[in-house]
Amino acid sequence: MMSAVPSSCPPAQGLYDPANEHDACGVAFVADIAGRVTHDTVEQGLNALRNLEHRGASGAEPETGDGAGILVQVPDAFLRAVLGVDLPERGHYAIGTAFLPQDAAEAEAAQRAIDAIAGEEGLRSLAWRELPVDPEGAGVGRTARSVMPRFAQLVLVSADPEMTPYALERRAYVTRKRAEHETGTYFSSLSTRTLVYKGMLATGQLQ
């Protein structure tokens, strides 16, 4: 079966083949070439996201989008200010956002199960932080709110002080995948380096 190729595509040449063309979600990248860590970079990323509204989708309820998110470098200084725990140096802890059940008892049970999985992987849960959200203020649609999970950030550290950041990154990945398969809890990310915020949102609602 032949795929439809837009007529505006150039002919096959070198490594390029127009048969590989396909639609995809819109993606934008913003980086500081000097490696400076500032909120301005995040603001520019959110502005780029808003400018990609035409790449998203919504149905009869325009306030419910098909999803939007942002990936950022782990905001070390911010986390130290809000977590209320002593964090090890940057790169020696992992953090990620879990999509937990809205029911409080079910959410606590999932957290306990994830803590146990982390322990089996040589990690220790240092903190859980409920992520503040404002669905009404952001104008999130009724459909999205009806399936909205409870968002909580998990901070993991190594139980072994000799574990390298690279090894911690691998253990965090295994913990994330096991949690998803064994508890049904989705993590948008769980990493020593990056943090993802996302949801069933339109582009202008994420911020």
Residues annotated as catalytic are 25
**Residue 150, burial from CB neighbour count under 10 angstroms (0-12, 13-18, 19+):** middle
DSSP conformation class of 48:
H
Q: Check: CB of residue 206 under 8 Å from CB of residue 66.
A: no
Strand partners, 98: 152, 187
Nearest CA to 190 out of 79, 96, 76 is that of 96
What are 32-39's contacts with CB under 8 Å, separation 24+? 37/73, 37/75, 37/77
**Residue 33, burial from CB neighbour count under 10 angstroms (0-12, 13-18, 19+):** exposed
Q: Check: CB of residue 176 under 8 Å from CB of residue 95.
A: no
Q: Check: CB of residue 127 under 8 Å from CB of residue 157.
A: no
Give a three-class secondary structure readout of 57-80.
CECCCCCCECCEEEEEECCHHHHH
